[in-house]
Structure 1
Amino acid sequence: MDEEARSATEPKRTVDVASLKALAHPLRIEILDTISRLGPQTSGTLAEILGESTGSTSYHLRQLARHDFLREVEGRGSGRERWWDRPKGSLQVVTRELADDPATAEAAHLVSREFEHRRAAALADFMEHGWLSEPAEWSDAAMASTSHARLTASELAMVSAKLEDFASSLIAQFKGRPTPEGARPVQIHINAFPLAPQRQEGPRRHQEKP
Protein backbone atom coordinates (compact mmCIF):
# COMPACT_ATOMS: atom_id res chain seq x y z
CA MET A 1 0.00 0.00 0.00
CA ASP A 2 1.51 3.31 -1.09
CA GLU A 3 0.64 6.17 1.26
CA GLU A 4 1.32 8.68 -1.51
CA ALA A 5 1.86 8.45 -5.24
CA ARG A 6 5.38 9.06 -6.44
CA SER A 7 6.94 10.77 -9.41
CA ALA A 8 9.51 9.01 -11.54
CA THR A 9 12.32 11.09 -10.05
CA GLU A 10 11.32 10.90 -6.38
CA PRO A 11 12.68 8.29 -3.98
CA LYS A 12 10.37 5.59 -2.71
CA ARG A 13 10.89 4.20 0.76
CA THR A 14 9.56 0.86 1.89
CA VAL A 15 8.90 0.89 5.63
CA ASP A 16 10.78 -1.69 7.69
CA VAL A 17 9.51 -3.65 10.67
CA ALA A 18 10.64 -1.22 13.37
CA SER A 19 9.26 1.80 11.52
CA LEU A 20 5.93 0.08 10.83
CA LYS A 21 5.48 -0.72 14.51
CA ALA A 22 6.37 2.88 15.42
CA LEU A 23 3.78 4.20 12.96
CA ALA A 24 1.05 1.86 14.22
CA HIS A 25 -0.66 4.47 16.42
CA PRO A 26 -3.84 6.28 15.31
CA LEU A 27 -2.59 9.73 16.35
CA ARG A 28 0.76 9.28 14.58
CA ILE A 29 -1.04 8.31 11.39
CA GLU A 30 -3.33 11.32 11.82
CA ILE A 31 -0.31 13.61 12.29
CA LEU A 32 1.50 12.18 9.27
CA ASP A 33 -1.63 12.43 7.13
CA THR A 34 -2.33 16.00 8.27
CA ILE A 35 1.18 17.15 7.36
CA SER A 36 0.89 15.34 4.02
CA ARG A 37 -2.33 17.24 3.31
CA LEU A 38 -1.59 20.67 4.76
CA GLY A 39 2.19 20.98 4.68
CA PRO A 40 4.64 21.81 7.51
CA GLN A 41 3.21 22.03 11.04
CA THR A 42 4.35 22.59 14.61
CA SER A 43 3.21 20.74 17.70
CA GLY A 44 1.04 23.77 18.48
CA THR A 45 -0.69 23.97 15.10
CA LEU A 46 -1.27 20.22 15.10
CA ALA A 47 -2.70 20.37 18.62
CA GLU A 48 -5.20 22.99 17.45
CA ILE A 49 -6.13 21.11 14.27
CA LEU A 50 -6.44 17.68 15.92
CA GLY A 51 -7.81 18.73 19.30
CA GLU A 52 -4.86 17.27 21.20
CA SER A 53 -2.45 18.71 23.76
CA THR A 54 0.84 20.15 22.56
CA GLY A 55 2.64 17.71 24.85
CA SER A 56 1.01 14.79 23.04
CA THR A 57 1.62 16.10 19.52
CA SER A 58 5.22 17.02 20.40
CA TYR A 59 5.93 13.51 21.68
CA HIS A 60 4.46 11.80 18.62
CA LEU A 61 6.23 14.20 16.26
CA ARG A 62 9.55 13.20 17.79
CA GLN A 63 8.73 9.51 17.42
CA LEU A 64 7.79 9.98 13.78
CA ALA A 65 11.00 11.92 13.16
CA ARG A 66 13.03 9.23 14.90
CA HIS A 67 11.87 6.77 12.25
CA ASP A 68 12.32 9.24 9.37
CA PHE A 69 8.64 9.77 8.66
CA LEU A 70 9.15 13.49 9.31
CA ARG A 71 12.06 15.92 9.29
CA GLU A 72 12.56 19.29 10.93
CA VAL A 73 12.29 22.22 8.52
CA GLU A 74 15.66 23.97 8.56
CA GLY A 75 15.68 27.73 9.03
CA ARG A 76 12.05 27.94 10.10
CA GLY A 77 10.93 28.52 13.65
CA SER A 78 12.87 29.56 16.70
CA GLY A 79 13.28 28.48 20.29
CA ARG A 80 10.72 25.84 21.17
CA GLU A 81 8.75 26.30 17.94
CA ARG A 82 9.89 23.57 15.59
CA TRP A 83 8.35 23.01 12.18
CA TRP A 84 8.03 19.49 10.76
CA ASP A 85 7.49 18.27 7.21
CA ARG A 86 7.49 15.08 5.15
CA PRO A 87 10.75 14.07 3.45
CA LYS A 88 10.53 14.04 -0.33
CA GLY A 89 9.32 10.85 -1.94
CA SER A 90 6.63 8.31 -1.18
CA LEU A 91 6.11 5.65 1.45
CA GLN A 92 5.15 2.05 0.91
CA VAL A 93 3.80 1.54 4.39
CA VAL A 94 2.44 -2.00 4.08
CA THR A 95 3.96 -4.83 2.06
CA ARG A 96 2.66 -8.36 1.60
CA GLU A 97 5.56 -9.68 3.71
CA LEU A 98 4.71 -7.41 6.64
CA ALA A 99 0.99 -8.16 6.41
CA ASP A 100 1.60 -11.93 6.32
CA ASP A 101 4.17 -12.03 9.14
CA PRO A 102 2.45 -12.84 12.47
CA ALA A 103 4.92 -10.51 14.23
CA THR A 104 3.84 -7.50 12.18
CA ALA A 105 0.37 -8.40 10.89
CA GLU A 106 -1.49 -6.49 13.61
CA ALA A 107 0.55 -3.33 13.06
CA ALA A 108 0.20 -3.63 9.27
CA HIS A 109 -3.56 -3.99 9.50
CA LEU A 110 -3.88 -1.04 11.89
CA VAL A 111 -1.81 1.24 9.65
CA SER A 112 -3.63 0.17 6.49
CA ARG A 113 -7.04 0.53 8.17
CA GLU A 114 -6.33 3.99 9.59
CA PHE A 115 -5.04 5.40 6.30
CA GLU A 116 -8.00 3.97 4.42
CA HIS A 117 -10.53 5.28 6.96
CA ARG A 118 -9.12 8.78 6.62
CA ARG A 119 -9.05 8.57 2.82
CA ALA A 120 -12.62 7.28 2.66
CA ALA A 121 -13.82 9.88 5.17
CA ALA A 122 -12.36 12.74 3.12
CA LEU A 123 -14.08 11.52 -0.04
CA ALA A 124 -17.38 10.87 1.76
CA ASP A 125 -17.33 14.36 3.30
CA PHE A 126 -16.85 15.96 -0.11
CA MET A 127 -19.60 13.85 -1.70
CA GLU A 128 -22.04 14.68 1.11
CA HIS A 129 -21.18 18.31 1.79
CA GLY A 130 -18.60 19.78 -0.55
CA TRP A 131 -20.03 18.88 -3.93
CA LEU A 132 -22.94 21.34 -3.71
CA SER A 133 -21.59 23.81 -1.14
CA GLU A 134 -18.19 24.55 -2.70
CA PRO A 135 -17.86 27.45 -5.17
CA ALA A 136 -18.62 26.31 -8.71
CA GLU A 137 -14.98 26.66 -9.81
CA TRP A 138 -13.98 24.05 -7.23
CA SER A 139 -16.91 21.64 -7.50
CA ASP A 140 -16.73 21.73 -11.32
CA ALA A 141 -12.99 20.97 -11.16
CA ALA A 142 -13.54 17.89 -8.98
CA MET A 143 -14.34 14.44 -10.30
CA ALA A 144 -15.78 11.22 -8.91
CA SER A 145 -15.66 8.53 -11.57
CA THR A 146 -16.16 4.78 -11.57
CA SER A 147 -15.22 2.37 -14.34
CA HIS A 148 -15.90 -1.36 -14.48
CA ALA A 149 -14.02 -4.09 -16.31
CA ARG A 150 -13.24 -7.77 -16.00
CA LEU A 151 -9.47 -8.21 -15.81
CA THR A 152 -6.89 -10.82 -14.95
CA ALA A 153 -4.55 -10.16 -12.05
CA SER A 154 -1.72 -9.26 -14.45
CA GLU A 155 -3.99 -6.87 -16.38
CA LEU A 156 -5.08 -5.18 -13.16
CA ALA A 157 -1.41 -4.83 -12.13
CA MET A 158 -0.66 -3.15 -15.47
CA VAL A 159 -3.62 -0.76 -15.14
CA SER A 160 -2.70 0.13 -11.55
CA ALA A 161 0.95 0.81 -12.43
CA LYS A 162 0.06 2.99 -15.42
CA LEU A 163 -2.54 4.96 -13.45
CA GLU A 164 -0.03 5.59 -10.66
CA ASP A 165 2.72 6.63 -13.06
CA PHE A 166 0.42 8.93 -15.01
CA ALA A 167 -0.97 10.60 -11.89
CA SER A 168 2.52 11.03 -10.47
CA SER A 169 3.80 12.63 -13.66
CA LEU A 170 0.94 15.13 -13.59
CA ILE A 171 1.36 16.01 -9.92
CA ALA A 172 5.15 16.28 -10.11
CA GLN A 173 4.95 19.58 -12.02
CA PHE A 174 3.28 21.25 -9.04
CA LYS A 175 5.70 20.06 -6.37
CA GLY A 176 8.51 22.21 -5.03
CA ARG A 177 7.09 25.48 -6.37
CA PRO A 178 6.01 28.51 -4.32
CA THR A 179 2.37 28.05 -3.38
CA PRO A 180 0.27 30.33 -5.60
CA GLU A 181 -2.47 32.55 -4.22
CA GLY A 182 -5.79 30.74 -4.06
CA ALA A 183 -4.26 27.27 -3.83
CA ARG A 184 -5.95 24.81 -1.46
CA PRO A 185 -5.07 21.33 -0.23
CA VAL A 186 -6.61 18.77 -2.57
CA GLN A 187 -6.69 15.00 -2.49
CA ILE A 188 -6.57 12.82 -5.60
CA HIS A 189 -7.81 9.25 -5.45
CA ILE A 190 -7.23 6.53 -7.99
CA ASN A 191 -8.83 3.29 -6.91
CA ALA A 192 -8.21 0.06 -8.79
CA PHE A 193 -8.98 -3.17 -6.99
CA PRO A 194 -10.86 -6.48 -7.34
CA LEU A 195 -14.24 -6.55 -5.65
CA ALA A 196 -14.74 -9.11 -2.90
CA PRO A 197 -16.44 -12.24 -4.32
CA GLN A 198 -19.56 -11.81 -2.19
CA ARG A 199 -20.07 -8.31 -3.59
CA GLN A 200 -19.30 -9.01 -7.24
CA GLU A 201 -22.61 -10.54 -8.13
CA GLY A 202 -26.01 -9.97 -6.57
CA PRO A 203 -29.65 -10.63 -7.50
CA ARG A 204 -30.18 -9.44 -11.08
CA ARG A 205 -33.30 -7.29 -10.80
CA HIS A 206 -32.26 -5.37 -13.90
CA GLN A 207 -29.65 -5.74 -16.58
CA GLU A 208 -26.49 -3.75 -15.85
CA LYS A 209 -24.51 -2.20 -18.65
CA PRO A 210 -20.73 -2.86 -18.64
Structure 2
Amino acid sequence: MSENETPNGPVRVRRIVEGNALRALAHPLRVQIYDILAQYGPQTASSLAQMTGESTGSTSYHLRALAKHELIQEVEGRGNARERWWERPRGSVTFGSAEGLKTPSGRAATQVVMTEFFNRRHQQLMQYIADGIAHPVDDSPAVITTATARLTDAQMGELSTRVMAIIDEYVDAYRDQTGDGVRAVSIRADIFPLPEEGH
Protein backbone atom coordinates (compact mmCIF):
# COMPACT_ATOMS: atom_id res chain seq x y z
CA MET A 1 0.00 0.00 0.00
CA SER A 2 1.45 3.37 -0.95
CA GLU A 3 0.30 6.78 -1.98
CA ASN A 4 0.02 7.23 -5.73
CA GLU A 5 1.05 10.39 -7.54
CA THR A 6 -1.33 11.90 -10.06
CA PRO A 7 -0.95 15.04 -12.17
CA ASN A 8 -2.95 16.84 -9.47
CA GLY A 9 -0.78 15.64 -6.56
CA PRO A 10 -0.82 12.71 -4.15
CA VAL A 11 -3.81 10.42 -3.87
CA ARG A 12 -4.33 9.34 -0.27
CA VAL A 13 -4.48 5.58 0.06
CA ARG A 14 -6.84 4.42 2.77
CA ARG A 15 -6.76 0.81 3.87
CA ILE A 16 -9.38 -1.00 5.89
CA VAL A 17 -7.66 -3.67 7.98
CA GLU A 18 -10.15 -6.45 8.51
CA GLY A 19 -10.53 -10.21 8.41
CA ASN A 20 -7.34 -12.25 8.74
CA ALA A 21 -5.11 -9.15 8.70
CA LEU A 22 -7.02 -7.61 11.61
CA ARG A 23 -6.87 -10.87 13.57
CA ALA A 24 -3.11 -11.09 12.87
CA LEU A 25 -2.65 -7.57 14.24
CA ALA A 26 -4.77 -8.30 17.34
CA HIS A 27 -1.81 -8.92 19.66
CA PRO A 28 -0.42 -6.32 22.09
CA LEU A 29 3.18 -6.52 20.86
CA ARG A 30 2.16 -6.47 17.20
CA VAL A 31 0.08 -3.34 17.74
CA GLN A 32 3.05 -1.77 19.52
CA ILE A 33 5.44 -2.69 16.69
CA TYR A 34 2.98 -1.45 14.07
CA ASP A 35 2.54 1.86 15.89
CA ILE A 36 6.29 2.36 16.37
CA LEU A 37 6.80 1.90 12.62
CA ALA A 38 4.00 4.42 11.99
CA GLN A 39 5.42 6.99 14.42
CA TYR A 40 9.20 6.58 14.09
CA GLY A 41 9.67 5.13 10.63
CA PRO A 42 11.67 2.10 9.50
CA GLN A 43 13.16 -0.18 12.15
CA THR A 44 14.95 -3.52 12.44
CA ALA A 45 14.06 -6.40 14.73
CA SER A 46 17.00 -5.32 16.92
CA SER A 47 15.92 -1.69 17.23
CA LEU A 48 12.33 -2.77 17.92
CA ALA A 49 13.61 -5.14 20.62
CA GLN A 50 15.34 -2.19 22.31
CA MET A 51 12.23 0.00 22.04
CA THR A 52 9.82 -2.66 23.32
CA GLY A 53 11.98 -4.49 25.85
CA GLU A 54 11.41 -7.77 24.00
CA SER A 55 13.96 -10.17 22.54
CA THR A 56 15.09 -9.85 18.94
CA GLY A 57 13.70 -13.32 18.27
CA SER A 58 10.28 -12.21 19.49
CA THR A 59 10.19 -9.00 17.46
CA SER A 60 11.47 -10.85 14.39
CA TYR A 61 8.68 -13.43 14.73
CA HIS A 62 6.00 -10.76 15.04
CA LEU A 63 7.43 -8.76 12.15
CA ARG A 64 7.10 -11.80 9.90
CA ALA A 65 3.50 -12.30 11.03
CA LEU A 66 2.66 -8.67 10.21
CA ALA A 67 4.43 -8.89 6.84
CA LYS A 68 2.53 -12.05 5.93
CA HIS A 69 -0.68 -9.99 5.94
CA GLU A 70 0.95 -7.00 4.19
CA LEU A 71 0.54 -4.82 7.26
CA ILE A 72 4.24 -3.96 6.99
CA GLN A 73 6.85 -4.37 4.29
CA GLU A 74 10.61 -4.55 3.87
CA VAL A 75 12.33 -1.28 3.04
CA GLU A 76 13.65 -1.53 -0.50
CA GLY A 77 17.40 -1.13 -0.88
CA ARG A 78 18.14 -1.02 2.83
CA GLY A 79 19.61 -3.71 5.06
CA ASN A 80 21.01 -7.13 4.31
CA ALA A 81 20.33 -10.81 5.00
CA ARG A 82 21.28 -10.38 8.67
CA GLU A 83 19.55 -7.07 9.30
CA ARG A 84 16.25 -6.43 7.57
CA TRP A 85 14.54 -3.04 7.77
CA TRP A 86 10.76 -2.84 8.02
CA GLU A 87 8.25 -0.05 7.48
CA ARG A 88 4.53 0.54 7.63
CA PRO A 89 3.21 1.29 4.14
CA ARG A 90 2.02 4.83 3.61
CA GLY A 91 -1.61 5.80 3.76
CA SER A 92 -4.25 6.00 6.42
CA VAL A 93 -5.66 2.91 8.10
CA THR A 94 -9.06 2.03 9.50
CA PHE A 95 -9.22 -0.92 11.88
CA GLY A 96 -12.27 -3.07 11.28
CA SER A 97 -15.30 -2.55 9.07
CA ALA A 98 -19.03 -2.35 9.58
CA GLU A 99 -19.36 -5.78 8.00
CA GLY A 100 -16.60 -7.26 10.16
CA LEU A 101 -18.15 -5.89 13.34
CA LYS A 102 -21.16 -8.11 12.73
CA THR A 103 -19.12 -11.19 13.68
CA PRO A 104 -17.88 -12.08 17.18
CA SER A 105 -14.30 -12.63 15.94
CA GLY A 106 -14.34 -9.31 14.07
CA ARG A 107 -15.57 -7.44 17.13
CA ALA A 108 -13.02 -9.15 19.39
CA ALA A 109 -10.08 -8.41 17.07
CA THR A 110 -11.18 -4.79 16.59
CA GLN A 111 -11.51 -4.36 20.36
CA VAL A 112 -7.99 -5.68 21.01
CA VAL A 113 -6.39 -3.55 18.29
CA MET A 114 -8.20 -0.33 19.21
CA THR A 115 -7.65 -0.80 22.94
CA GLU A 116 -3.92 -1.48 22.57
CA PHE A 117 -3.45 1.34 20.06
CA PHE A 118 -5.19 4.01 22.12
CA ASN A 119 -3.71 2.80 25.41
CA ARG A 120 -0.26 3.31 23.89
CA ARG A 121 -1.13 6.75 22.53
CA HIS A 122 -2.74 7.74 25.84
CA GLN A 123 0.37 6.65 27.75
CA GLN A 124 2.45 8.86 25.45
CA LEU A 125 0.13 11.80 26.13
CA MET A 126 0.30 11.26 29.89
CA GLN A 127 4.10 11.02 29.72
CA TYR A 128 4.19 14.33 27.84
CA ILE A 129 1.99 15.93 30.50
CA ALA A 130 4.13 14.52 33.33
CA ASP A 131 7.34 15.73 31.64
CA GLY A 132 5.78 19.15 31.09
CA ILE A 133 4.84 19.47 34.75
CA ALA A 134 8.27 18.31 35.88
CA HIS A 135 10.13 20.49 33.36
CA PRO A 136 7.86 23.37 32.21
CA VAL A 137 8.58 24.97 28.83
CA ASP A 138 7.00 28.40 28.42
CA ASP A 139 7.27 28.62 24.65
CA SER A 140 6.14 25.10 23.65
CA PRO A 141 3.92 25.15 20.54
CA ALA A 142 2.08 22.00 21.65
CA VAL A 143 -1.66 22.18 22.32
CA ILE A 144 -3.74 19.86 24.44
CA THR A 145 -7.31 21.02 24.34
CA THR A 146 -10.85 19.79 24.60
CA ALA A 147 -14.17 21.46 23.78
CA THR A 148 -17.83 20.58 23.54
CA ALA A 149 -20.36 21.76 20.98
CA ARG A 150 -23.92 20.74 20.16
CA LEU A 151 -23.93 19.50 16.56
CA THR A 152 -26.10 17.56 14.17
CA ASP A 153 -24.65 14.48 12.48
CA ALA A 154 -24.15 16.53 9.30
CA GLN A 155 -22.27 19.25 11.20
CA MET A 156 -20.12 16.69 12.99
CA GLY A 157 -19.33 15.09 9.62
CA GLU A 158 -18.35 18.46 8.16
CA LEU A 159 -16.08 19.21 11.14
CA SER A 160 -14.46 15.78 10.89
CA THR A 161 -13.80 16.26 7.18
CA ARG A 162 -12.25 19.71 7.70
CA VAL A 163 -10.02 18.55 10.57
CA MET A 164 -8.84 15.51 8.60
CA ALA A 165 -8.09 17.71 5.57
CA ILE A 166 -5.75 19.85 7.68
CA ILE A 167 -4.06 16.80 9.18
CA ASP A 168 -3.69 15.17 5.74
CA GLU A 169 -2.17 18.37 4.34
CA TYR A 170 0.55 18.46 7.01
CA VAL A 171 1.24 14.74 6.86
CA ASP A 172 1.63 14.88 3.06
CA ALA A 173 3.90 17.94 3.23
CA TYR A 174 6.17 16.93 6.10
CA ARG A 175 6.04 13.15 6.54
CA ASP A 176 9.65 12.62 5.39
CA GLN A 177 11.14 15.89 6.61
CA THR A 178 14.57 15.68 8.22
CA GLY A 179 16.99 18.22 9.66
CA ASP A 180 17.70 20.25 12.76
CA GLY A 181 14.76 20.67 15.09
CA VAL A 182 12.64 18.03 13.33
CA ARG A 183 11.09 15.36 15.56
CA ALA A 184 8.18 12.95 15.42
CA VAL A 185 4.93 14.63 16.47
CA SER A 186 1.68 12.89 17.39
CA ILE A 187 -1.39 14.44 15.78
CA ARG A 188 -4.64 13.36 17.36
CA ALA A 189 -8.22 14.41 16.70
CA ASP A 190 -11.17 13.09 18.68
CA ILE A 191 -14.61 13.99 17.37
CA PHE A 192 -17.45 11.82 18.62
CA PRO A 193 -20.95 12.12 20.11
CA LEU A 194 -21.22 12.08 23.88
CA PRO A 195 -23.60 9.67 25.63
CA GLU A 196 -27.17 10.91 25.91
CA GLU A 197 -27.77 13.16 28.88
CA GLY A 198 -28.65 11.22 32.01
CA HIS A 199 -26.89 8.02 30.80
Give yes or no for TM over 0.5. yes
Shift of 1:136: 4.8
Shift of 1:109: 0.8
| TM-score between the two structures when normalised by the length of structure 2 | 0.87
CA deviations 1:20-65 (Å, max 9, x no partner) are 1111001000000111111110000100110001110000001111
**Are 2:89 and 1:87 equivalent residues in the alignment?**
yes
In 1, the alpha carbon distance for the partners of 2:138 and 2:102 equals 46
Distance 1:168 1:104, change over 3 A: same
For 1:95, what is the secondary structure of its paired residue?
coil
The letter for the 1-side match of 2:191 is A
CA contact 2:18–2:106 (8 Å) conserved in 1: no
Identify the residue that residue 208 of structure 1 maps to in structure 2.
Answer: none
**Are 2:119 and 1:117 equivalent residues in the alignment?**
yes
Query: Structure 2 matches for 1:53-64, cutoff 5 A?
Result: 53-64=55-66
In 1, the alpha carbon distance for the partners of 2:28 and 2:44 equals 18
- The structure with higher relative contact order (CA 8 Å, sep 6+) is 1
The letter for the 1-side match of 2:101 is A
The structure that is strand-richer by fraction is: 2
Shift of 1:176: 3.5
Shift of 1:163: 0.8
In 2, the alpha carbon distance for the partners of 1:27 and 1:194 equals 30
Gaps of 5+ in 1: 1-6, 203-210
The letter for the 2-side match of 1:31 is I
Identify the residue that residue 156 of structure 1 maps to in structure 2.
Answer: 156
Shift of 1:119: 1.6
Identify the residue that residue 146 of structure 1 maps to in structure 2.
Answer: 146
Deviating more after overlay: 49-58 vs 155-164: 155-164
Size of the aligned set, in residue pairs, is: 191
Distance 1:134 1:90, change over 3 A: farther
Distance 1:131 1:167, change over 3 A: farther
User: Share of identical aligned residues, percent?
Assistant: 38
The letter for the 2-side match of 1:188 is I
Identify the residue that residue 193 of structure 2 maps to in structure 1.
Answer: 194
| TM-score between the two structures when normalised by the length of structure 1 | 0.83
Report the aligned-residue RMSD: 2.0
